[in-house]
Structure 1
Amino acid sequence: MQKASQVYILLDALDECAQRAELMEVLRTIAGWQLRNVHMIMTSRKERDIENSLEQIVDPRNSICLQSDVVDKDIQQYVRERLSSDNALNKWSKDTALQHEIETALMKGSKGMFRWAVCQLDTLGKCRNRAMLRKSLASLPPTLDKTYDRILCAIAEEDFDYAIRILQWLAFSDRPLSVEEVAEVIAIDGTRDPAFDRDEVLEDPSEALDICFSLISIRGAGDDSRKQVAVLAHYSVKEYLVSDRIQNGQAARYWMQDTACHSMISHACVSYLIQFQQAEPIKGDMLTSFKLAQYSARFWASHVRWSKVGKSEIGQVVMDLLSMENAAYLNWIRLYDPDRPWAEPYLKKSLRDIATPLYYTANLGLETVVEILLDKGADVNAQGG
């Protein structure tokens, strides 16, 4: 950096960094160099630990609060656009006074929080008449936390299990899930056998939006405009779900702990794979019929690693999969070969084409599983693959 004439470093959303303390230390180190050619621009929500750290290195004259009239104007423009163009809201478009009432209430309550305004408009769109609308306007939640509490508590009781599965998977999946994969996610219940019930798969995958109203959204996949993926509607959704704050609210049962969620997902993936018991070559249309097969095959091991479980917590279903006597083991490697992670599924592999469970689990860094296999007498000198 000393050799460059000018260096500009842009850091957006410091508050979203998981290793916040380490990041603050790096920033203090850079500031300590006192290089006149180095310029840093940083954005963050107002959080006390970040403010305390930046006070040491940022001149108050160079700090700008974005929760200002500029942001309010953007929110106001967004509210007006939604009221006129959103199919769920434009039923009020003929009543100028009512539109003004909605706009005034939202601008007063938003306090510069764009996401808060989005959620309130989503909720107002469900109002069927003026009485419901005015009741909602009179009881707008004061904060984003309270907003998420209200949304979560409004989820129908019969949808609770589905909602928690969708939110857990979207919060902790290793890659974005297609809407078709999400439709199958809700049909996996690790407490039953078999875990996957095809009758529970959503007939219309987009109904996941209704189940997790305002908490998730559907967008196009970056590499394929025809493919749609489901994602959490905003980073603050996950932030709230994993925070201590949710445990003090009415939606406490939706609280998520990262290792527990990874453990649940790994168990679900393995349970999903266990159903493939045919030893004969798999037909290509299997991948079309079982949307979650490739994700489960590729990522179950990484979720086991993230779950950080000990020997006693590794489920029997994992050990059932890792048996060369189980055709599901062969089908796992057909779907995803850890030796060739870049390759497409090769559905005609036979047992003589693959290695032992000990080999693959060691390859994947599953130390605890390796220990269990060794305890069970796995042969470290076995040939195969």
Structure 2
Amino acid sequence: MSEELVTNHRKHSLNVNSHDTGMFANASNFEISGGQFMVTASGEERNLTSTSDEEKKISEWLNAPDCLTNFTTAINKKTAGTGQWILSHPEYVMWRNSPNILWIKGKAGSGKTILSTTIIEDLRHHGKDNVCFHYFDSRDNSGAKSGYRGLLLSLIQQMSYHKQTIHSALQRLYESCRHGLSVAPPSNTELEICLNMILEEATPFIVLDAMDECCETVEVLNWLSSISNKLWIVVTSCHPPEGQLASVTGQITIDNPDSGIHEDIATYLQIQMQNHIFKGDLKTQVTTKLIEKSQGQFRWVDCQFKVLKRCATPKVVWRTLEKLPHDLEETYAQAVKKSMESEHNEDAHNLLLWLTYAFEPLSLNQVADILSIDLDEQVVDQRDLMDFKLHLVIDSNLVAIDTNNVVQLAHYSVKEFLIKSSKYTQTLGLFEINEQLAHHNISQACIIYILQLKNDFLMDDQSWPSFPLVHYASKYWIDHMKALNVLSSNDALYNLAMKILNEESPQFITWSEIYEFYEKWKDINYNSEEILHKVASTIQKEHYIGGKPLYYAAICSHKNLVEFLVSNNQNLDAQGGTYGSCQRLVPHNTRYQASRLPT
């Protein structure tokens, strides 16, 4: 990695014609004018103590995953007085006194995230201003929070901004990745070197939550092994430490009766009862039964309490207590069946498919748009006739809304259950949740959504915020279709693809320009009205030349689409699109399958 320092800071812009997009991932405030992309402000809370343009610029380029939302959500869910037992546990006290790794093991839903948040609060309360954290979160289908790279980015982001300065190691990394007016994303090796240089000058306390949700465990464990006796690190996981770490880490198991989890559950129920109608003996019976059946799982207790709160009479409460599910899987099965029996069953099924297999997190407004799409009639219903209420569509034990109004599966164990149970849907009598069905339905919905846009949509930037799903639909319908193993010419999706890939259709022109914009400016955080206005304004000013229908059919990689368009005299060498033509598309990205192009 180059150590050369560049003293003359370039203007805070990047030429639109550059294919490099790393700097603007999750950018939330920007302007694009005259071929220049200008970052103007940071639209999300960051661990910055300075407001300098340089720091904001580097922070946007680094594009660390937002784990602050996980922390805030955990704080908001935490019941006062719970989790305190961990702070007096002998293993925790020993860990506090010398650098080491403390590994906290517990089954799914046992409150590990609440404990890790309690530890973060304790360290900060005792004057530890160098506390960093990362939440592995497999519910985020983008993978930003579940991989090794996300961990590196998250720690560098938090440790590099201190005392109103930016760490020189990060500054040098940024300069070494800058080539002219473009800034390339750093490699994992470069991030490791940068983080090690930062750690040479700092001894932070690091809390890593939900290691079992990490998709690159080997890389993370190797990194932990290399620094196990140098830093204070807490790891929570459903699994025990492996390999070398098993012999060098302090361990706390919270599944056994000696932990304070049962007392925490009692505290949680006591406070919940203060705000509910249970009284006298009924209150005692509910509390006793839930603690007795909980097996130390906070998540299980919370789910059952939600069900019990909906009971209108003591008789129904007693009946419900006698039929309590044995575990989380049975709890989720009951929640799914309840959703299947409601009048909103089609919407609930559709929503679970999207949340399990969408390529990005979805906002509440986007979900409202998704549920307005009628796949059978291939129309989009009017969305402003009533307020959207998510809890009326699907059981709250399955789906939740975070502090940023992002709709997600309520817990990672919900996602595990849905994927696992997809093999036995007929036997269990549950919704069919499988990847192929999800990609099929999502790609259909996206195309239907695009086809309902008016001819002058691109010219009316004021209308963009009224269509919050337009960016997702435009970016990803091709990727969802590409993920299908088979696409029959008799399929409704095939016919929809033919409609959107009609060169004479105004919607094709609209969509291809939006698609090419996002191809050049990947990962912009466009979930705000301000950003949507600017994206629309930019597309009006800058001409993004789309490809021909055959070009996009080649990206979809479905042979029958390509052959149909070729038979209608579409030219393989026709110019347009990010990669220029069908023939030039393949070398730029190996995911495009040249073998499917007729010769």
Residues 235-278 of structure 1, C-alpha deviation per residue, up to 9 Å, x if partnerless?
A: 21111111148727975432422243123212210121112252
Q: 1:309 aligns with which of 485, 493, 497?
A: 485
Q: Give 1:70's aligned residue.
A: 260
CA contact (8 A) 2:422 2:432 kept: no
The one-letter code sitting in structure 2 at the alignment partner of 1:27 is: L
| 3-state secondary structure, aligned to 1:243 | helix
> In structure 1, what is the Cα distance between the partners aligned to 2:457 and 2:369?
25
In the alignment, structure 1 residue 133 sits paired with structure 2 residue 313: no
> In structure 2, what is the Cα distance between the partners aligned to 1:334 and 1:353?
5
Structure 1 pair 303–247 and aligned structure 2 pair: CA distance change class (3 A): same
In the alignment, structure 1 residue 80 sits paired with structure 2 residue 262: no
Structure 1 pair 230–8 and aligned structure 2 pair: CA distance change class (3 A): closer
Q: Give 1:212's aligned residue.
A: 394
Q: 1:186 aligns with which of 354, 371, 374?
A: 371
Structure with the larger helix share = 1
The one-letter code sitting in structure 1 at the alignment partner of 2:496 is: V
CA contact (8 A) 2:347 2:371 kept: yes
1:202 Cα deviation (Å)? 7.5
1:13 Cα deviation (Å)? 1.6
Where in structure 2 are the equivalents of 1:272-287 lying within 5 Å? 272-276=449-453, 278=455, 282-287=459-464
> In structure 1, what is the Cα distance between the partners aligned to 2:267 and 2:385?
36
Structure 1 pair 245–115 and aligned structure 2 pair: CA distance change class (3 A): farther
Comparing 126-135 with 176-185, greater Cα deviation is found at 176-185
Q: 1:13 aligns with which of 192, 207, 210?
A: 210
Structure 1 pair 82–202 and aligned structure 2 pair: CA distance change class (3 A): farther
CA contact (8 A) 2:512 2:547 kept: no
Structure 1 pair 281–166 and aligned structure 2 pair: CA distance change class (3 A): closer
The runs of 5 or more residues in structure 2 that have no matched partner are 1-195, 525-533, 578-599
The one-letter code sitting in structure 2 at the alignment partner of 1:196 is: V
1:118 Cα deviation (Å)? 1.1
Where in structure 2 are the equivalents of 1:25-174 lying within 5 Å? 27=221, 31=225, 37=230, 41-45=234-238, 50=239, 54=242, 57-59=245-247, 62-68=250-256, 69-85=259-275, 90-92=276-278, 95-155=279-339, 156-174=341-359
Q: 1:268 aligns with which of 426, 445, 453?
A: 445
Q: Give 2:111's aligned residue.
A: none
Structure 1 pair 312–29 and aligned structure 2 pair: CA distance change class (3 A): farther
> In structure 2, what is the Cα distance between the partners aligned to 1:252 and 1:16?
28
| 3-state secondary structure, aligned to 1:379 | coil
Q: 1:239 aligns with which of 398, 416, 420?
A: 416
> In structure 1, what is the Cα distance between the partners aligned to 2:427 and 2:311?
22
| 3-state secondary structure, aligned to 1:170 | helix
The one-letter code sitting in structure 2 at the alignment partner of 1:204 is: D
The one-letter code sitting in structure 2 at the alignment partner of 1:12 is: D
CA contact (8 A) 2:461 2:536 kept: no
Q: TM-score, normalization: structure 2?
A: 0.52
Q: Give 2:95's aligned residue.
A: none
The one-letter code sitting in structure 2 at the alignment partner of 1:15 is: D
1:171 Cα deviation (Å)? 2.3
Structure 1 pair 133–249 and aligned structure 2 pair: CA distance change class (3 A): farther
Residues 149-184 of structure 1, C-alpha deviation per residue, up to 9 Å, x if partnerless?
A: 111112234221111011122222333323232222
In the alignment, structure 1 residue 23 sits paired with structure 2 residue 211: no
1:329 Cα deviation (Å)? 0.9
CA contact (8 A) 1:15 1:44 kept: yes
CA contact (8 A) 1:7 1:37 kept: no
CA contact (8 A) 1:188 1:196 kept: yes
> In structure 1, what is the Cα distance between the partners aligned to 2:432 and 2:237?
24
Q: 2:476 aligns with which of 299, 305, 311?
A: 299
> In structure 2, what is the Cα distance between the partners aligned to 1:249 and 1:202?
36
> In structure 2, what is the Cα distance between the partners aligned to 1:145 and 1:178?
27
In the alignment, structure 1 residue 324 sits paired with structure 2 residue 503: yes
| 3-state secondary structure, aligned to 1:209 | helix
Structure 1 pair 35–148 and aligned structure 2 pair: CA distance change class (3 A): closer
CA contact (8 A) 2:513 2:546 kept: no
CA contact (8 A) 2:356 2:415 kept: yes
> In structure 1, what is the Cα distance between the partners aligned to 2:574 and 2:456?
21
Structure 1 pair 25–291 and aligned structure 2 pair: CA distance change class (3 A): closer
Q: Give 2:379's aligned residue.
A: 196
User: Would you say how many aligned residue pairs link Structure 1 and Structure 2?
Assistant: 359
The one-letter code sitting in structure 2 at the alignment partner of 1:329 is: F
Structure 1 pair 311–357 and aligned structure 2 pair: CA distance change class (3 A): farther
| 3-state secondary structure, aligned to 1:64 | strand
CA contact (8 A) 1:293 1:335 kept: no
| 3-state secondary structure, aligned to 2:379 | coil
Structure 1 pair 242–281 and aligned structure 2 pair: CA distance change class (3 A): closer
> In structure 2, what is the Cα distance between the partners aligned to 1:44 and 1:173?
26
CA contact (8 A) 2:399 2:410 kept: yes
| 3-state secondary structure, aligned to 2:296 | coil
> In structure 1, what is the Cα distance between the partners aligned to 2:518 and 2:564?
18
Comparing 100-109 with 73-82, greater Cα deviation is found at 73-82
Structure 1 pair 259–15 and aligned structure 2 pair: CA distance change class (3 A): farther
1:83 Cα deviation (Å)? 2.0
Give the RMSD, CA atoms, in angstroms.
Answer: 3.8
> In structure 2, what is the Cα distance between the partners aligned to 1:323 and 1:282?
20
> In structure 1, what is the Cα distance between the partners aligned to 2:566 and 2:296?
58
The runs of 5 or more residues in structure 1 that have no matched partner are 222-227
Identical aligned pairs, as a percentage?
A: 25
Q: Give 1:224's aligned residue.
A: none
The one-letter code sitting in structure 2 at the alignment partner of 1:218 is: I
The one-letter code sitting in structure 2 at the alignment partner of 1:324 is: E
> In structure 2, what is the Cα distance between the partners aligned to 1:70 and 1:280?
58
1:213 Cα deviation (Å)? 1.6
